[in-house]
Amino acid sequence: MTYTTVKLTFEQYLEYDDDTDNRYELCDGELRPMPPESGENIWIALWLRDELVQLIDRRLVFPTNCCELQVQGKKQNRFPDLVVIREEHLEPTKKRQTITLDMAPPQLVVEVVSPYRSQLDENYRRDYIEKRQQYE
């Protein structure tokens, strides 16, 4: 796994381009490649998207890992499984689908949670505690 040697600010991260389709998390200033999403999580998020676009403007619904959110904490960005943005986000997200902390929050953020055996599991801590705190 490759990590950046220089700590990046979020603004530097937004300008970063390694000419690949890789997605990265910015964790304490270091780039970390994101693992691929599970097929089941993708299917659930796409099903929910299909349901939502029957009710609201489809331009406002970003499916799996298409919209990035800047968040507070050690991890500085997240790619939720589904995001419903606001009308005012349409113009600023044309070039890069990133909602930053200085913008109004999205209308809805959905994370399809991973299975866990107990509240001590990494999946539980990440999905139910860390991400929830960052999205609030």
62, 97 Cβ separation under 8 angstroms: yes
Banded pLDDT at 128 (limits 50, 70, 90) = confident
Q: Determine what percent of the chain is predicted with pLDDT higher than 90.
A: 54
Say if 5 falls within a structural domain.
no
Kindly list the distances between the CA atom of residue 133 and the CA atoms of 57, 69, 96, 130, in Å, as whole numbers in the listed order: 28, 13, 24, 5
Banded pLDDT at 22 (limits 50, 70, 90) = confident
Q: Which two tokens stand for residue 9?
A: 């600010």
Say if 3 falls within a structural domain.
no
Banded pLDDT at 6 (limits 50, 70, 90) = confident
State the Cα–Cα distance between residues 99 and 106, nearest whole angstrom: 8
Bigger pLDDT: 80 vs 136: 80
Say if 4 falls within a structural domain.
no
For the chain, how many structural domains are there in total?
1
Q: Which domain holds residue 33?
A: 10-135
Average the pLDDT over 4-17 and give the result: 86
Label residue 68 exposed, middle or buried (CB < 10 Å: 0-12, 13-18, 19+): buried
Say if 67 falls within a structural domain.
yes
Q: What is the pLDDT of residues 36-84, one digit of tens each?
A: 888 998 999 999 999 999 999 999 999 888 899 999 888 899 999 999 9
Say if 111 falls within a structural domain.
yes
Say if 60 falls within a structural domain.
yes
> Structure pTM?
0.84
Say if 119 falls within a structural domain.
yes
